[in-house]
Structure 1
């Protein structure tokens, strides 16, 4: 009787351990899929950030070039605005590229 109970307990324990392992394996697979999807979304977010940052860099410089080539007078405060846009664009590119470079999907 004691041997039968011991065998039944061992069988139940093995079944429980197997069930737990299967459950953990399934959760790890789902986590891996979620990480893969998240890394793709992160790539799109970073690409958008770089695109906007490049626009912030290129647009003011292009505006200054066009205004100077047409001989128009540009008030000095526009240069500060453009300098701010360019600096913010450079900072955004630096953050997007250098600070997120260690992240691997």
Structure 2
């Protein structure tokens, strides 16, 4: 295991589409989809109807939190996915996350 695979729990703020902010402890090795699933239960929505946005970029479900640049104290937005927006078509533009 490399140092980038080390599990660390950090607290971030999740801002939901209804304007509410919620503190959340997340493991940096969790995937974006796992965190979205946890939040979906709290706001009573299906995880596939939601997507996370950080630093102006839509986060890919399979990425790990630590690979998205999210750090302790970061604010992440949880927004509703448009019905016609397929997850496979989501692309980040001008993002370091696409490397």
Q: TM-score, normalised by structure 2?
A: 0.24
Which structure: larger Rg?
A: 1
Higher helix share: 1
Higher strand share: 2
Using CA pairs below 8 Å that are at least 6 residues apart, which structure has the higher relative contact order? 1
Q: TM-score, normalised by structure 1?
A: 0.23
